Amino acid sequence: MVRKILKRVREKAVRFDISFGLLRQDLSSILALADSTSDLGTKAQWLESLLDWVRISVNPESQKTSSKIQAVRFRYLLKVLEKNPKWEKEFSKLLSGLLLETDALSLLCETGLSNQNGFISECIDRIVHRIVPVPRNEKDLGELFVRLFDDETDADWLATLDESTIQRLEGMIFSDPEAKQYLLKKYTKTLLEALVILAAQVESAGLSKEIRFRSHIRSVRDSAFFRLRMIMALAHASLASDETEKKEAILDRMRPHFDACRKEINNALQHLEEHGVSTTIVYRLERIERQLDRMELISEILFAKANSQKSTLWLRLMASLIRSSIESSSVRKLFQDNLHMLARKVVERVGVSGERYITSTKKEYFSLLLSAGGGGMVTAGTAYVKFLIGKTNPALFFEGLFSSINYTFSFLLMQICHFTLATKQPSVTAHALASKLKEIRQESDLAAFNDTVAKLTRSQFAAAVGNIGIVAPVAIIADFLFSQSFGRHIMPIDYATKVIAEMHPWKSPTIIFAFGTGVLLWLSGLGAGWLENWFVYRRLPETISQSPVLINFLGAKKAARVSDWICKNIAGIGGNVSLGILLAFSPIIGQFFGLPFHTRHVTISSGGLFYAYSAMPSGALNWQDYLLGAISVVLVGLLNFGVSFALALYTAIRARDVKKGRLVIIRHALWKHIRANPLAYFWPQASKQAAHLK
């Protein structure tokens, strides 16, 4: 956050400087202040001001344009130094002195590579690092490097420098032959030490139980991580030799080892894909891969053929260090990188369960309609119990507790009886739809995708009609039987009047509440996928099937059946429980913070509304009141379905990396299909082949 604020202030200052020319610091005045005899802190501050001059850009919004302009300004800086020998001499002494007085080992081994082992600990460390200031260590080149190159464009303009500019810069820094020899010797030793440290860290992490098990390595000696130690010993020996051919040979031998390590990382990632994701392990694998990339680049510098090639590789290393240091301090980047695979896994697991809600034939359509009718019957009872809980007016916590039990029991009962709740469909069918997006390779695949969208839409329509079409008559009949038995309606007239008023489409916050409920429905879909991933990752199906208690009590075969049943239904259980808790406790939490939030679940709200209609005296309501109620139910349903579906589809698209260009093509094709055959989105259509046969 602090870095973003400083960056915005800098951009505003640059725009102001471009417009009025008041804040631009003259290059001549900066170069005149160079003092090679000053202390390290003063040298670092002078270098910061010089790099700030290089970063001044005409167009701060365009990173590509900025990097080109900054590269031009850097070349202009070198020309100015060449024309002023005094400034060039001070520049050379200052830079070489700074490199001699600082230690670069932490820069090579730690910058951009955190020592934390887990996602949570790394996230906390980054947040604390942003809030709590760290005392400066002027002799640590890694710390100085992060302060000097704190902009994303620094890596870009360094990468665009041509070979002649690099040679000119190298000539200025190493103008003193004696200092040059000492610096080369010092940094060769530092590079080799960094290689040894990184190899030890990679070997330790790669041979850990969590990664070794998922890499399909039977013996430690078979692992490429174990062989890194031996190749490092060969690297030490080859550097002591002056034979160029021997150095080139050792570099050729090192590359296959790095590739073998990456192969084991890919095996571990594939295992996570198949057997559940752990963000901590994903983070460790990501860190190992970055360390291997750095080791390979350091090796290329150490064993490069020519000095000119070394200079280019050094700039590549600097650009890599800049990018990794900026990424390693970003909490947002940490979440994006490490939660991407978890989101993808959750999406895939929810998508599999979403396939069963997409009907193809009329038989499946009517079966879903009947299943949704059963869900409507159960929901009528849920709405009645909700009224009873509200009537007793318990304390907030117990109101949330009893409501969550009511919702959860109803949803689980629907799952056991194979009933359907329409509002649960969008969050899972969207993931199934997103999986189809990746299958589109050519134009002919668009027809199959459009057909899937039509099936999904009409299935959702059938579920909604089944839920609301049954909950309404069940509520009316239940109230009639109750009034005949007890001489009064289920709802008192004052409470019924309040319910009808609260459901008014524009004189109440019903629309806002329905939107928020759509978000809760989406979250429950994620909860279903997360629980199934956690269940599979912990290998609980095998634990349950191998439980001695279950085997002794039920027998081995029945214990396996229990494990299989839980494995098949764990996602539904997770979604139902999470939805029940979210619907019950969200209003309670809202009241705790003074926010008057209430859920508007279309099926439950419809049940409550029809109980209220039944309680009103004859003639108390006119046709306009019933019309407003119908409009309110439709709007609540559309928002419940639309919001949860949109969020779930967006999550699935991001998790599967579907490109924007492909989405535009798909959207146009889908709109064309809707205009050509709108009825297919509400009613099953006979296939062209069947129609032809008739």
pLDDT tens profile 255-269: 888 888 999 998 888
Expressed in angstroms, the distance from the first to the final Cα of the chain is 67
- According to the model, what pLDDT value does residue 230 have? 79
When pLDDT is averaged across residues 32-48 and rounded to a whole number, the result is 88
Q: Answer whether 0.85 is exceeded by the pTM.
A: no
The pLDDT assigned to 693 comes to: 35
pLDDT digits (tens, 9 = 90+) for 570-617: 888 888 999 999 999 999 999 889 888 999 999 999 999 999 999 999
Least confident of 282-296, 425-439, 660-674: 425-439
- Domain with 615 in it: what CATH number? 1.20.1080
Higher-scoring residue by pLDDT: 26, 364: 364
Residues 294 and 148 in one domain: yes
Q: 3-state secondary structure string, 396-456?
A: HHHHHHHHHHHHHHHHHHHHHCCCCCHHHHHHHHHHHHHHHHCCCCCCHHHHHHHHHHHHH
Q: Do 68 and 203 fall within a single domain? A: yes
Instruction: Find, among 359, 384, 360, 363, the residue nearest to 463 by Cα.
Output: 359
User: How much is the pLDDT for 20?
Assistant: 38
The pLDDT, as a whole number, for residue 347 is 57
Is position 459 within any domain? Answer: yes
pLDDT over threshold 90, residue 459: no
Residue 71: which residues within 8 A CB-CB, separation 6 or more? 157, 160, 161
Average predicted confidence (pLDDT) for the chain: 82
Examine the domain organization and report whether 319 and 447 are in the same domain. no
CA distance 614 to 481: 11
pLDDT band at 346 (very low <50, low <70, confident <90, very high): low
Residue 258 within any structural domain of the chain = yes
532 found inside a domain = no
Residue 688 maps to a domain: yes
* Same-domain check for residues 323 and 354: no
Give the C-alpha separation, 600 to 518, whole Å.
9
Cα 483 to Cα 436: distance, rounded to the nearest angstrom: 51
Whether 694 shows a pLDDT value over 50: the answer reads: no
Res. 125: pLDDT tops 60: yes
Q: Do both 365 and 323 map to the same domain? A: no
Q: Read off the pLDDT of each residue in 174-180 and give the average, rounded to a whole number.
A: 81
657 falls within a domain:
yes
Q: Are residues 218 and 142 in the same domain?
A: yes
* Per-residue pLDDT, 210: 83
Cα-based distances in Å from 560 to 545, 554, 556 = 5, 10, 6
Structural contact between residues 327 and 111, judged by C-beta atoms closer than 8 angstroms: no
pLDDT at res. 269: 83
C-alpha dihedral sign at 589, 595, 600, 605: positive
Q: Tens digits of per-residue pLDDT, 470-492? A: 999 999 999 999 999 999 999 99
Q: Do the domain assignments include residue 509?
A: yes
pLDDT for 16 beyond 50: no
pLDDT for the residue 161:
85
Please state the rounded mean pLDDT for residues 306-314: 77
Indicate the pLDDT class of residue 18, thresholds 50, 70 and 90.
very low
Do 223 and 362 lie in a common domain?
Answer: no
DSSP for 204-259 reads HHHTSHHHHHHTT-SSGGG-HHHHHHHHHHHHHHHHH---HHHHHHHHHHHHHHHH
Span 211-237, pLDDT tens digits = 888 887 878 888 888 888 778 777 777
Q: Which of 301, 329, 357 is the last residue of a domain?
A: 329
pLDDT of amino acid 337:
63
How many domains is the chain built from?
2
How far is residue 42 from each of residues 47, 138, 149, measured CA to CA in Å? 9, 10, 17
Confidence of residue 519 (pLDDT cuts 50, 70, 90): very high
- Mean pLDDT comparison of 43-47, 311-315, 535-539, highest-scoring range: 43-47
In b/e form, how buried is each residue of 492-504, taking b as 16+ CB within 10 angstroms? Answer: eeebbbebbebbe
Name residue 120's amino acid: I
- Provide the domain limits for residue 445: 347-514+573-693
| Whether 311 and 432 share a structural domain | no
Percent share of the chain, pLDDT over 70: 84
Domain presence at residue 1: no
Lowest mean pLDDT among 1-10, 330-339, 539-548, 681-690: 1-10
Q: Are residues 246 and 128 in the same domain?
A: yes
Mean pLDDT of the region 358-378: 90
pLDDT for position 687: 54
Same domain for 492 and 612: yes
Task: Using pLDDT thresholds of 50, 70 and 90, give the confidence band for residue 241.
Answer: low
pLDDT above 80 for 85: yes
Residue where the block lists tokens 């869900």? 375
Please state which of the ranges 43-52, 114-123, 312-321, 684-693 shows the lowest mean pLDDT.
Answer: 684-693
Domain boundary residue, one of 329, 356, 371:
329
Q: Tell me, what's the pLDDT at 542?
A: 84
> Are residues 421 and 351 located together in one domain of the fold?
yes
> Which domain-ending residue is among 299, 329, 359?
329
**Predicted local distance difference test score (pLDDT) of residue 646:** 84
Same domain? 414 vs 268: no
Query: Does a structural domain hold residue 548?
Result: no
Residue 164 has pLDDT above 80, yes or no: yes
| pLDDT average, residue stretch 128-152 | 80
Question: What is the per-residue pLDDT across 504-514, written as a single tens digit (0 to 9) for each?
Answer: 999 999 999 99
